[in-house]
């Protein structure tokens, strides 16, 4: 009986232990399953939220955000090296027209690449229709396919907008500078480690084992001291792999028909595929270490003692140098996808827009043009078939109008989009002289800066590229007599060149001196007893009103000043 009870107890104990083991296994599997489903559910929920946010934001004014324009400019700084000067907007014109603000108004890009390529696109004025036709085809593709546009935006969003990512074009332009110096020394140490290890296995000699251990220890010290230099650049390589991955997904996606329509990404992706695998293998190891995994940290130093990470990194940089053109081609193509989507969104956010009629005729015909940075704009129409002078009182709208014209000429050529119901215009360079300031650091007065701005306009005039130059208050930095004489001479010279000049001025004398060479337009105001009302509309002819003294009164200057000013004016 004792044997029986002992046997029964033993069987029960085994069954109980097996039941416990099964219970633990089931618990572990259940936990894994729950974690998996939670992760899948969370991912789908995040994707759904992202889709809803992207759908809601499309066609809306972009949310206010601070930009690091130095980061945004990294791609442009490299891209402009291959462009002819006549196709670039210079820095003075860019600042005169507040193009950074315009970029912020247009930018609904989902990725850092899109933002950089859009920023570069706004700096360029292509000389023919091939560029705008290509962009327009992509804009229309995404305007007609909302579902595919959202899928594309989700893919692009995966690239993110991390501040370190924007440095990538600079990294690609100077790959030689990011090589590991003295890599041959590391290779020598690898050969020694390998040789002594093999010899210790073959001969089982303690001397070889000690030498192999000694070399491994030295390598470990080298790795510990140098790996931070190598790891700094792994983020850039990680971004490269991510871009190639997004390109691959776009090219192979069944949900997005972009590649079957345009057939432009697959070739570059195939060329970069092997490089991508190498980068991912190195980057995943670093990510594991950063996660704090004890085994990953231990493994990192064991592998580090072979210095293989350094030679892998060097191989990647060398391969990347051979594939630089393919990668930057893919970079720009993905960026242009994002730019096309952002342009479509920008169009939908406007009161009205049109696509320009671009030609080689030197006529500027505009219907209901407006400035895109003004929330409640006034629309203006004008036909400019010759140079023109625009006069008008202070605050009547002259500067805003000529800025609107300049911005529309730029966006017509770089985004095929006009803030007007109709715009007929020539392919042209745009150059301005508007927001002149003193440069105290350079020791330059307002007038010196202004004549330098004007000189660069003179130097930009050329026979092979039509120029539209826009000048606000020419030579305001000097005395009246010399200002009018010099201004008339400059504007007369410009009128003989391959150029359309639009000049805003208070100097009515210029309209009579340049009669016949320049058409005249003006802005006006309605004077009331206690108020001045501006309609911000453009009219033919020269202004007949002045309001500088009335504006002094309007903002509350003492009556004594107003009265004396009126007397001085009557005596002139």
Q: What pLDDT digit, counting tens, does each position of 474-520 carry?
A: 888 777 888 889 989 999 999 999 999 999 988 888 999 998 899 99
How far apart (Å, rounded) are the C-alpha atoms in residues 421 and 369? 7
Of the listed ranges 196-210, 279-293, 425-439, the least confidently predicted one is 279-293
Residue with tokens 């507040």: 98
With beta carbons less than 8 A apart as the criterion, state whether 377 and 148 touch.
no
Q: Is residue 58 part of a domain?
A: no
Domain that holds residue 4: 1-32
Q: Is residue 50 part of a domain?
A: no
Same-domain status, 291 and 316: yes
Q: What percent of the chain shows pLDDT beyond 90?
A: 45
With beta carbons less than 8 A apart as the criterion, state whether 450 and 436 touch.
yes
Q: Is residue 111 part of a domain?
A: yes
43 band by pLDDT with thresholds 50, 70 and 90:
low
**Which of 319, 348, 377 is the endpoint of a domain?**
348
Q: Does 62 score more than 70 pLDDT?
A: yes
How far apart (Å, rounded) are the C-alpha atoms in residues 139 and 87? 22
Q: Does 301 score more than 80 pLDDT?
A: no
Task: Report the pLDDT value the prediction gives residue 360, as an integer from 0 to 100.
Answer: 81
Evaluate the CA torsion angle 9, 12, 18, 21 in order and state its sign.
Answer: negative
Q: Does 8 score more than 50 pLDDT?
A: no
How far apart (Å, rounded) are the C-alpha atoms in residues 443 and 520? 37
Same-domain status, 309 and 374: no
Phi, psi of 375 (to 5 degrees): -70, -40
Tally the domains of the chain.
Answer: 4
Task: Report the pLDDT value the prediction gives residue 89, as an integer from 0 to 100.
Answer: 94
Q: Does 390 score more than 90 pLDDT?
A: yes
Q: For residues 146-169, give the mean pLDDT.
A: 92
Same-domain status, 146 and 237: no
Q: Is residue 46 part of a domain?
A: no
How far apart (Å, rounded) are the C-alpha atoms in residues 99 and 403? 11
Q: Which helix (H) or strand (E) holds 518?
A: none
Same-domain status, 231 and 319: yes
Nearest of 91, 105, 116, 100 to residue 61 by alpha carbon: 105
Dump strand ranges (E) for 181-259.
none
Nearest of 197, 192, 220 to residue 208 by alpha carbon: 197
Same-domain status, 141 and 184: no
Same-domain status, 372 and 434: yes
The chain-wide mean pLDDT, for the chain, equals: 84
Q: Does 42 score more than 80 pLDDT?
A: no
How far apart (Å, rounded) are the C-alpha atoms in residues 386 and 363? 7
Same-domain status, 249 and 280: yes
Q: Does 99 score more than 50 pLDDT?
A: yes
Q: Does 109 score more than 90 pLDDT?
A: yes
Q: At 370, which CATH number?
A: 3.40.50.300
Q: What percent of the chain shows pLDDT beyond 70?
A: 84
Phi, psi of 83 (to 5 degrees): -100, 145
Q: Is residue 41 part of a domain?
A: no
Nearest of 73, 93, 122 to residue 414 by alpha carbon: 122
Q: Is residue 44 part of a domain?
A: no
How far apart (Å, rounded) are the C-alpha atoms in residues 374 and 404? 10
Reduced to 3 states (helix: H, G, I; strand: E, B; else coil), residue 162 is coil
Q: For residues 334-347, give the mean pLDDT.
A: 96
Nearest of 553, 561, 506, 502 to residue 530 by alpha carbon: 553
Q: For residues 526-548, give the mean pLDDT.
A: 78
Q: Does 247 score more than 90 pLDDT?
A: yes
Same-domain status, 106 and 220: no
For the record, the structure tokens of 267 come out as 């070739």
Q: Higher-confidence residue: 377 or 302?
A: 377
Residue with tokens 């230099």: 229
With beta carbons less than 8 A apart as the criterion, state whether 411 and 124 touch.
no
Same-domain status, 200 and 159: no
Q: Higher-confidence residue: 127 or 39?
A: 127
The DSSP bridge partners found for residue 519 are 388
Same-domain status, 529 and 409: yes
Same-domain status, 190 and 147: no
113 band by pLDDT with thresholds 50, 70 and 90:
very high
Nearest of 382, 413, 197 to residue 306 by alpha carbon: 197
What CA–CA distances, in Å, run from 377 to 94, 368, 420, 536? 22, 10, 11, 9
Same-domain status, 544 and 411: yes
Of the listed ranges 396-405, 448-457, 528-537, the least confidently predicted one is 528-537
Reduced to 3 states (helix: H, G, I; strand: E, B; else coil), residue 551 is helix
Q: For residues 242-266, give the mean pLDDT.
A: 91
Reduced to 3 states (helix: H, G, I; strand: E, B; else coil), residue 315 is helix
DSSP secondary structure letter of residue 288: H
What CA–CA distances, in Å, run from 570 to 528, 546, 563? 21, 13, 11
Reduced to 3 states (helix: H, G, I; strand: E, B; else coil), residue 388 is strand
What CA–CA distances, in Å, run from 248 to 253, 269, 271, 359? 8, 6, 11, 38
Q: For residues 171-187, give the mean pLDDT.
A: 83
With beta carbons less than 8 A apart as the criterion, state whether 88 and 125 touch.
yes
Q: Is residue 339 part of a domain?
A: no
Q: Is residue 171 part of a domain?
A: no
Q: Does 570 score more than 90 pLDDT?
A: no
With beta carbons less than 8 A apart as the criterion, state whether 431 and 469 touch.
yes
Nearest of 169, 172, 73, 171 to residue 120 by alpha carbon: 73
User: Cα torsion for 454, 460, 461, 465, to the nearest 10°?
Assistant: -150
For the record, the structure tokens of 80 come out as 């402009």
């Amino acid at each position: 009986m004792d044997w029986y009870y002992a046997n029964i107890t033993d069987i029960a104990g085994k069954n109980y232990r097996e039941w416990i083991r099964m219970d633990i296994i089931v618990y572990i599997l259940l936990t894994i399953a729950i974690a998996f489903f939670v992760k899948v559910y969370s991912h789908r929920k995040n994707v759904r939220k992202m889709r809803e946010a992207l759908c809601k934001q499309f066609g809306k004014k972009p949310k206010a955000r601070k930009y690091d324009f130095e980061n945004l400019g990294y791609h442009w700084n490299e891209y402009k090296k291959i462009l002819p000067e006549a196709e670039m907007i210079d820095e003075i014109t860019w600042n005169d027209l507040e193009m950074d603000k315009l970029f912020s108004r247009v930018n609904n890009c989902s990725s850092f690449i899109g933002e950089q390529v859009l920023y570069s696109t706004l700096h360029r004025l292509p000389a023919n229709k091939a560029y705008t036709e290509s962009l327009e085809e992509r804009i229309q593709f995404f305007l007609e396919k909302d579902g595919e546009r959202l899928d594309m935006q989700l893919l692009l969003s995966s690239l993110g907008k991390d501040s370190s990512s924007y440095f990538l074009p600079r990294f690609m332009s100077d790959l030689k500078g990011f090589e590991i110096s003295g890599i041959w020394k590391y290779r020598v140490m690898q050969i020694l480690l390998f040789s002594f290890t093999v010899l210790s296995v073959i001969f089982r000699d303690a001397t070889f084992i000690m030498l192999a251990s000694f070399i491994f220890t030295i390598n470990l010290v080298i790795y510990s001291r140098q790996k931070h230099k190598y790891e700094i650049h792994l983020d850039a390589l990680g971004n490269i792999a991510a871009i190639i991955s997004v390109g691959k997904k776009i090219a192979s996606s069944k949900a997005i028909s972009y590649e079957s329509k345009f057939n432009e990404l697959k070739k570059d992706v195939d060329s970069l595929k092997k490089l991508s695998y190498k980068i991912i293998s190195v980057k995943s190891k670093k990510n594991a270490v950063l996660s704090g995994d004890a085994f990953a940290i231990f493994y990192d130093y064991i592998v580090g003692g072979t210095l293989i990470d350094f030679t892998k990194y060097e191989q990647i940089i060398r391969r990347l140098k051979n594939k630089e053109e393919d990668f930057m081609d893919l970079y720009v193509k993905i960026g242009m996808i994002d730019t096309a989507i952002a342009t479509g969104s920008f169009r939908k956010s406007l009161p009205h827009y049109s696509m320009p009629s671009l030609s080689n005729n030197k006529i500027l015909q505009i219907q209901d043009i407006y400035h895109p940075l003004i929330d409640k704009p006034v629309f203006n129409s004008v036909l400019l078939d010759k140079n023109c002078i625009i006069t008008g009182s202070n605050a009547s709208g002259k500067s805003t109008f000529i800025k609107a014209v300049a911005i529309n000429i730029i966006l017509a050529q770089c985004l095929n989009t006009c803030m007007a119901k109709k715009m007929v215009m020539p392919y042209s360079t745009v150059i301005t002289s508007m927001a002149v300031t003193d440069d105290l650091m350079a020791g330059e007065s307002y007038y010196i800066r202004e004549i330098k701005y004007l000189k660069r306009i003179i130097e930009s005039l050329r026979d092979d590229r039509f120029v539209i130059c826009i000048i606000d208050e020419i030579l305001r930095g000097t005395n009246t007599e010399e200002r009018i004489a010099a201004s008339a001479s400059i504007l007369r010279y410009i009128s003989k060149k391959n150029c359309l000049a639009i000049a805003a001025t208070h100097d009515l004398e210029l309209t009579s001196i340049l009669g016949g060479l320049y058409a005249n337009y003006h802005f006006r105001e309605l004077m009331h007893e206690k108020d001045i009302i501006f309609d911000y509309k453009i009219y033919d002819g020269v202004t007949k009103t002045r309001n500088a003294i009335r504006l002094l009164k309007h903002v509350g200057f003492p009556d004594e000043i107003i009265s004396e000013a009126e007397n001085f004016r009557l005596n002139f």
